[in-house]
Structure 1
Amino acid sequence: MKHFYILLTVLVLFSACKKKAEKTVGVVDRPTLDFVVAFGSCNMSQEPNPFWDDILAEKPDVWIWGGDIVYADTDDVERLRTIYAMQDTVAGYAKLKNEVPIIGTWDDHDFGVNDGGSEFSIKAESQQVFLDFMGVPEDSERRDQKGVYASHQYEVPKGKVKIIVLDTRYFRSELIKDEDSKKRYRPTMDSTATVLGKTQWKWLENELNGSDADFNLIMSSIQVLSGEHGFETWGNFPLEVEKLENMIAESGAKGVIILSGDRHISEFSKTDIDGLSYPLVDFTSSGLTHSYSSFSGEPNQYRVGEVVSDKSYGIINLNIEEKKAEFKIMGDNGAVLQELKQSY
């Protein structure tokens, strides 16, 4: 009988611990210090993707879609839904999805229109299709808010990692075409022009100011630091770039890192910001199934290293105890195409 009560006590304690773990968002049972992030963008389900097995082999704690998950470019909601469904039939992705948490944002081609922003007529309907694809529950607050932005926090034995996913489409002001040069768009100094919109800006400020995470990763579908090329970039809204940098510096949030996609190239950009004790890195990973293979160069005063114009994906290894991050642009079969290390 004594043994019975001991066994019953153990079972009760195990049950209680199990229930407690289920209530904690994103707890990773890992004895190592590292938190591994994998991310990428610009993906066509009908094109070969050689990376899903490599990504899974990295044993990531999370996969982040950086936008252009599919190429739909349509205002037909059912067609959009069908094209998303095709991605779920890709065997390698289905295996990753079964084993790794999937989060992320959209960009223009899965939003529904090339270079599109707040003016897109079916953005609200498109948002619901995106949330369906991402497996967001029907009763989630994200179903009622405007825009697909969200934050996710993960806990490991040594600390916390927050991933803030932005929406650079739903609220973004119209771009200004550049009629005087070969560039597609030109910057605007209009103080009313926006990338995130008032509500999302306020939300982001609260997420950064209230963060107790050891690393805070911000996923922006478009590049933040590289702004000279004339394509889509935060650089088309210089006042918004300044606002973001000031917000990061003033928030006191630790280990802030920018992730981006969109460009069909991969590169590292880095700059020093007043009030920030470490450089701000913008890690662009773009070209999962197709890339800018004929790339011949473009200016980027913040670039570190060289542009990778081959198909690739991104890996970030976070050492929470030592406050270090290792950024890697990855090719097929575990090939490291370029890497950057940064202390925080």
Structure 2
Amino acid sequence: MLKNVLILIALIVAGCAQTQKTAQQGEATKDAVYVSMIPSRGIDYETAITTIAFGSCANQDQPEPLWKDISAANPDLFLFLGDNIYASTPTQKPIAEQYRKLDQIPEYRAIREQVPFLATWDDHDYGLRDGGKDWQGKEAARRDFINYWSYVRNSIPFEQNGIYHAKVIGPKKKAVQVIMLDTRYFRSALLEKPGNEGKAYDYLPNEEGTILGDAQWNWLEEQLKKPASVRIIVSSIQMIANEPKYEKWGNFPKERQRFFDLLKKTKAKNVVILSGDRHIASIAKTQVKNYGDLYEITASSINRANSFSDSDKEYIGAVYNKENFGLASIDWKKKKMQVEIRGFNNEVANRIDIPLR
């Protein structure tokens, strides 16, 4: 009897110690802060830009050699389209530690010192795979994002939720507006197919839900009314491609149509959409009634290549599923934008010329 009592006491003491340890770890996760110390380049807002690189899906626990090729393309600006780190599993917490790991990658450090960056997030740097507005960790993720991408703190009003923001770069007749959407913080729940609960990627249309939320929609309309020669809209998830079963604007068909209607309402010209997320690269084009052609370039991933293959009636050319990035080159004299999907050694996998009005 005495032996059993002693064993029980030992188990209780061990359990209390483990509970205390877990609580301490929770506090460490809660309070973890990381501010990048890389002497990153700022943006010269008065000078016209001609070359913009972009990409997504970079796992900080793996090498990221593609940054050398991106740097060799000599871009004026790099746009990080989301999944800039992977912090959506218990072993990838706290999020702040994952940003610290990213900064230790030599090729990434080198390009940050040479090229200005703008960034938004997707689900993995948001902290929950396929996460939306109900994610309990979203405020902590927002804090970590703003601590790391410190320019965002000065780019949004103090009272604003989410991380959406915009920049206008260049003189009046060569102004490039970059709009970084937040497709996570306000997004309604994805609707799983009956019998498919717990299986990722395949969803029913949510006819009443939102992606951007009312405040961000109002903000976007005001942004599209501002003067600009070229408008680049960054959406972490695909907008035009509507057939793949993965996360996309097509999961919220009214939101997708609302975006097209907003382009018509504001008469915004020379809009190009950039997206990531998919671990494939693609170029898509659709005809928006009473507006005209709309292009979307998906660039993914920096170091998370997969064997995914896609088809969509809006795709131009085949998808590319090796490591890749996008490169947009603006020819102001000829009034066109050439956009390429590039892989290692700057090999061009796909290309499109987009006329500018």
TM-score under structure 1 normalisation? 0.85
Aligned to 2:101: 86
Aligned to 1:316: 328
Amino acid aligned to 1:185: Y
Correspondence 1:173 to 2:188: yes
Q: What SS is found at the alignment partner of 2:52?
A: strand
Mapped to 2, the partners of 1:120 and 1:187 lie a distance apart of 20
Aligned to 2:250: 235
Q: What SS is found at the alignment partner of 1:132?
A: helix
Question: Percent sequence identity over matched residues?
Answer: 33
Aligned to 1:184: 202
TM-score under structure 2 normalisation? 0.82
**How big is the shift at 1:179?**
3.0
**How big is the shift at 1:77?**
10
Give runs of aligned pairs for residues 182-261 of structure 1, distance below 5 A: 184-190=202-208, 193-209=209-225, 211-261=226-276
Contact 2:87 2:93 in 1 (8 A): no
Distance 1:142 1:113, change over 3 A: farther
Correspondence 1:287 to 2:301: yes
Contact 2:59 2:86 in 1 (8 A): yes
* Structure 1 runs not aligned, ≥5 long: 1-23
**How big is the shift at 1:262?**
0.3
Which of structures 1 and 2 has the bigger CA Rg? 2
Q: Report the number of matched residues.
A: 312
- Runs of 4 or more above 4 Å deviation: 74-78, 137-140, 180-183
Amino acid aligned to 2:131: G
Contact 2:156 2:163 in 1 (8 A): no
Amino acid aligned to 1:206: E
Q: What SS is found at the alignment partner of 2:70?
A: helix
- Within the candidate set 26, 30, 38, 2:44 is matched to 26
Give runs of aligned pairs for residues 4-43 of structure 1, distance below 5 A: 26-27=44-45, 29=47, 35-43=50-58
Q: What SS is found at the alignment partner of 1:283?
A: strand
**How big is the shift at 1:178?**
1.9
Aligned to 1:331: 343
Per-residue CA shift, 1:30-88, capped at 9, x if unaligned? 6xxx6111110110122122221211122211111110011111589971100111111
* Structure 2 runs not aligned, ≥5 long: 1-41
Distance 1:199 1:157, change over 3 A: closer
Mapped to 2, the partners of 1:330 and 1:135 lie a distance apart of 29
**How big is the shift at 1:226?**
1.0
- Within the candidate set 40, 46, 53, 2:61 is matched to 46
Q: What SS is found at the alignment partner of 2:84?
A: coil
Amino acid aligned to 1:280: L
Aligned to 1:63: 78
Amino acid aligned to 1:188: N
Per-residue CA shift, 1:185-218, capped at 9, x if unaligned? 121222xx10000000000000001x21110000
Correspondence 1:301 to 2:313: yes
